[in-house]
Amino acid sequence: MLRLLASGCARGPGPGDDSSFGRFGPRRIREESVMLRTVNPSTGALPFQSLMVADLGDVNVNLYNLQDSCRRIQEAYEKIVAAGCIPLTLGGDHTITYPILQAVAKKHGPVGLLHVDAHTDTADEALGEKLYHGAPFRRCVDEGLLDCKRVAQIGIRGYSTTLDPYRYNRSQGFRVVLAEDCWMKSLVPLMAEVRQQMGGKPIYISFDIDALDPAYAPGTGTPEIAGLTPGQALEIIRGCQGLNVVGCDLVEVSPPYDLSGNTALLAANLLFEMLCALPKVTTV
């Protein structure tokens, strides 16, 4: 069975901040991926010996119409998923996860979600728009795409306009793990709990690079201080090995803010770790 690395969904101009620069992310991540090898000695994973892996290039989006871009992404991923592929997506801003999950849920039904991010991305609207990078998971809840009791959000932090910014998420049954609850500790015990929460049913992994502290990943549109470390990011992804992962994405890499290229390099490595954690990858 083919396992697919499908990369490069972008969006056009929309409300919000400078995350539209995320459209340059896939190309930069590809450039940094040339340093990757084929074996993961730390986990013993042999992804390229276990699976067929292909880069399908970018989805042809409409840079002037966000709704049409989402339609195009959904249709492209419906074909990918129907072919028996597990998509690993290079973003692009976080809007893209919504149409991808529309396609994934069409095959698998409501899925569990491991969402690693500085932000919950469950706002209802911005400047009158309900479709933007701060609202993808609100739209997913609205459409019944998520198995809400199997949603875990890790690394959440930042200032807010209300004293209880996570009320909506917890009311839906999400597990919200704040970044401050992760400071200076291993996340292996947390991932053991998350694995139990997810069980054997389908799970989707969505990783926003701003989950990491901007000291490690400055190249993103909405950085927040006091985030996760790269080591903790590896613990999270490696903690998914053996789960029924049906898709992954890594989003919000913004090359104009990534002068050293470190953010894209980190993104490429995290995507390789996701590839290593897919079902049926041989480990030795």
N- to C-terminal Cα separation, the chain? 21
Q: How far apart are CA 64 and CA 245, in angstroms?
A: 33
Q: Confirm whether residue 117 is marked as ligand binding.
A: yes
What DSSP element (H or E) covers 247? strand 245-251
Question: Of 10, 149, 158, 27, which is closest to residue 93 (Cα–Cα)?
Answer: 10
Q: Is 142 annotated as a binding residue?
A: no
Q: In this structure, what token pair is assigned to residue 258?
A: 């990534």
Tell me if 68 is assigned to a ligand binding site. no
Residue 108 labeled ligand binder: no
Q: How far is CA 8 from the centre of its chain?
A: 13
How many Å apart are CA 28 and CA 217, to the nearest integer?
Answer: 14
Residue 258 among known ligand-binding residues: no
Residue 210 marked ligand-binding: yes
The Cα 217–Cα 231 span in angstroms is 13
Identify residue 168 by its one-letter amino acid code: Y
Long-range contacts at 125-132 (CB < 8 A, ≥ 24 apart): 126/15, 126/16, 127/15, 127/16, 128/15, 129/14, 129/15, 131/14, 131/66, 131/67, 131/70, 131/95, 131/98, 132/14, 132/15, 132/16, 132/66, 132/95
Annotated binding site for Mn(2+): 94, 117, 119, 121, 208, 210
Annotated binding site: 94, 117, 119, 121, 208, 210
